[in-house]
Amino acid sequence: MSSPTVFITGAAAGIGRATALLFAGHGYHIGAYDIDEVGLTRLAADINAAGGKVRTGVLDVTNNTHWAERLAEFDEATGRLDILINNAGILRAGRFESIDLVTHQAIMDVNLGGVLAGMHHAFPYLRDTRGAQVVNLCSASAIYGQPELASYGATKSAVKSLTEALDLEWSRHDIRVIAVWPLFVATAMVDGMSTGTTKSLGVRLTADDVADGIWEATSKRPRLPKVHYEIGTQAKLLAAAAKYAPSWAVRGVNKYFAGA
């Protein structure tokens, strides 16, 4: 039997890199894709040095041609697609009106459009692999709309809904679709970022923490269907509060943490 495979976007650094290294260590054939060719070269060298298997390629998740070509190349090399991890994303923080419209639209295009395109292009390969899974990187910022992260949180809320819908829709094809929910993670995405919530809650997670959460979520299927996986104590507490507290209280808590 051929090695299980995982196709990871945004794999050159941060969460994507940590996830690629972790899965390679567990015997997965890695498909690592990004727009950062230098980062991909370094990642491939590390995986190869440890005796792992990896294929890399340039992938702009907003480019449909890139998606079609990279997936076809990976399938030709491996013959299967066990896990697709939609990790690539961008984040810009600040008051809504102070961020130019082009940047807001880029956030939408990458964080939502890239996930949608990836799942659409990957579907035939997932369908033809028994027990295939999709992991979408969501965010605790989607639990309730966050000041200074308005468009970013909106994309993650949409990813939440898309994940839930396709987990139901694709179950007949034996495809599981899940979302992982970290709060702020110490990667380049948050370097220099200063918002009310980062000041009050801090940046407590590492890329390895999220990679571990992805591994745990995909390697052990629960008896009862489970779609959402919060990463870290803070995200779990915020999610529980949003689920059980009245809406006015949830708004108040978010207003307090954001300093709004």
State the catalytic residues: 152
> Can you tell me which residue has the tokens 């491939």?
44
- The token pair at 233 is 């104590």
| 3-state secondary structure at position 245 | coil
Q: What is the DSSP letter of 185?
A: B
Answer whether 62's CB lies under 8 Å from 162's CB.
Answer: no
Give 93-156 as a DSSP string.
-S-GGGS-HHHHHHHHIIIIIHHHHHHHHHHHHHHTSTT-EEEEE--GGGSSPPTT-HHHHHHH
With a CB cutoff of 8 Å and minimum separation 6, the contacts of 125 are 71, 75, 80, 81, 132
Is the torsion defined by CA of 71, 161, 11, 53 positive or negative? Answer: negative
Nearest to 171 by CA among 225, 118, 216: 225
DSSP E strand stretches across the chain: 5-9, 29-34, 53-58, 83-86, 133-137, 176-182, 228-231
Strands 53-58 and 83-86 come out as: unpaired
> Can you tell me which residue has the tokens 């940047």?
103
The arrangement of strands across the sheet holding 53-58 comes to 53-58, 29-34, 5-9, 83-86, 133-137, 176-182, 228-231
